Amino acid sequence: MTTAEAATSLNAPFDELAWEKQDGLLPAVVQDADTLAVLMLGYMNREALQATLDSGHVTFFSRSRQRLWTKGESSGHFLELVTVETDCDADTLLVQARPRGPTCHLGRASCFAQAPARASFLGELDELIAARDRDRPAGSYTTALFEGGMRRIAQKVGEEGVETALAAVAQPDEELLGEAADLLYHLMVLLRARGLGLSQVEALLRQRHRG
């Protein structure tokens, strides 16, 4: 990706960010793209931001080591980039990413022990489904779905869709709610099997709403 192309990924032109305010560094707040929990704070110079956009792995400039470092380069716990944007003054970055393991060196999900996340169980469930896909624990129904393959998962979504529609026509509210829950769960598994997540669906709905 060229610098010109990278600029289109930001809400401000790459060369117009306020690099001069802090000796060429911008604070970068990293947020979990699915739960919206704040994960960590780092600093990026031009090269770190470019490396982040090019590689898809969140990269910082280490002030103590005086070099670029990619989160997870030694632990394997990468932060996979979803979006990056600037604030209104173009001097701070907000990075949304999907963590592949704990972000904090103490083994916690966030460097902020009490970092709040959005009050949405669907976000938590999406994160759990992603972990089941990654770890494939034995005895898990979600693991069995992933190992059954895309056709099997798609079949389950179709079945649950039909059952939800039938419940809407002929069943009491409790049955409809139960079928809707089953449909949402299996749809989230289907998305994850394609390498997608709930946050991407939310982003599309938000885009349509704004349009």
61 backbone dihedrals φ, ψ, rounded to 5°: -105, 120
* Residue for token pair 């949304």: 96
**Residue 111 resides in a domain:** no
Which residues is 81 bridged to in the sheet?
Answer: 97
Mean pLDDT of the chain: 89
Residues 14 and 71 in one domain: yes
Task: Report how many domains make up the chain.
Answer: 2
Residues 196 and 132 in one domain: yes
- 22 Cβ neighbours under 8 A, 6+ residues apart: 43, 91
Question: And the tokens for 177?
Answer: 């709610």
Q: Would you say 43 and 61 are in contact if contact means Cβ atoms under 8 Å apart?
A: yes
Rounded average pLDDT over 123-137: 89
Range(s) of the domain holding residue 61: 3-99
pLDDT of the residue at 2 = 41
> What single-letter amino acid sits at 138?
A
Q: How far apart are CA 206 and CA 54, in angstroms?
A: 26
pTM value > 0.75: no
Q: Mind listing the pLDDT tens digit for each residue in 67-83?
A: 999 999 999 999 999 88
